[in-house]
Amino acid sequence: MHISFAALRGRRWTLPGAALAIAGALTLSACGGSGGSTDASGLTKVKVRTDVFYTGAVLPLLAGIDKGIYKKHGLDVTLNPGKGSATTLQTVANGSDDLGYADGGALVQAAGKGMPVEMVAGMVQRSPLAIFTRTDSGIRSASDLVGKTAGFTAGSAPETLIPAFAKASGLNPQSVHLNKVDIPTRDSLFVQGKTQFSFGLLNVSRATIEAKCHCTLAALSYADAGLNVLSSGIVTSKSFAGKHPDAVKNFLAATAEAVDYTDKNVDAAVSSFFNVVKTSTLSKAVVKQQWLASAQLMHTDKTKDQALGCMAAADWQSTIALMEKHGGVAAGKVKPAEVASNAYLGQCSDQLGKQ
């Protein structure tokens, strides 16, 4: 099925491997969150859910657990894999999980529907959204995409914003061919050389696809085209943050220490990944590449000189504006201070969310 750009506006945003799984969220809700209770050793129990199954993007969380960093900060962390940011946001909002790792665009969509969740630390703030091509394809710019074909997954984050990318890069949206498929098929067609370009995330998809195609990829970055849309970070419900602010602060402080440890000991951190994750289709090399790419995206131009996690209201406003235009969020429905807070971090230039 060929997809026109005109049909893309208002699609729900998901991430590769993500799904709007309300039924799954309801099943998970039966487990219940930790609610800030303590274990036998006096540690505060915290349940955390990632966006999708574990990748190198969340390497510090796994290393922090394996190396006892969270316990050092008084926390007994149980980490579980997610089934997409939409589901993770739901389980955090309904109290099944205390904290999560989720996408900023999906958060704006959830908040637009009244979900009481907020991001309390930005982890991957510079957008990783990208179009991938093989380096030997001759495609070096958006104009080279004319006449080319790609698999297209409705609702996937890069595809949702392809109209904005096209406008920013001067690409005629009618000059490319987009065939509707699911994400595994999209990636498989590209690996097999049956499509000339594909969509994905610089920090996760690139290393995975290169390992499968045994090729080197070139990337047309959405951020380089001027699209300022925040990516992933630590989220929680307003209820949990209000009742357990110290647990949130301690988790963020421990995560900052875990990031520092990972940066300085990346190979050891990768070993920790596989100590915690017993079954994974990823290789150690791919996990390492995913983290190194993620580490390059932790700040935007507005937060580059600030501590880990600090966010800027202007970045959120840009993200909200893009989701209003392309993600089905009603204009004026969501404000930066409603979806993000720096209140649980140290010194941040932007007083976002602070009273």
pLDDT of residue 2: 53
Is it true that 5-14+128-221 and 22-126+230-339 share their CATH fold? yes
Q: Which CATH number fits domain 5-14+128-221: 3.30.450.20, 3.30.1280.10, 3.90.550.10, 3.40.190.10?
A: 3.40.190.10
Question: How far is Cα 65 from Cα 305, in angstroms, rounded to an integer?
Answer: 28
pLDDT tens per residue, range 98-121 = 999 999 999 999 999 999 999 999
Regions of the chain where pLDDT drops below 50? 4-6, 8-31
Question: How far is Cα 74 from Cα 84, in angstroms, rounded to an integer?
Answer: 28
Q: Whose CA is closest to 111, among 355, 352, 338?
A: 338
Beta bridge partners of 44: 38, 75
Where in the chain are the domains?
Answer: 5-14+128-221, 22-126+230-339
pLDDT of residue 41: 82
10: left (phi over 0), alpha (psi -120 to 50) or beta: left
User: Rounded to 5 degrees, what angle do the CA atoms 103, 104, 105 make?
Assistant: 95
**Which CATH superfamily hosts domain 22-126+230-339?**
Periplasmic binding protein-like II (3.40.190.10)
The structure's pTM equals: 0.88
pLDDT of residue 274: 98
pLDDT of residue 21: 34
pLDDT of residue 33: 65
Question: How far is Cα 186 from Cα 307, in angstroms, rounded to an integer?
Answer: 37
DSSP-based three-state secondary structure for 223? coil
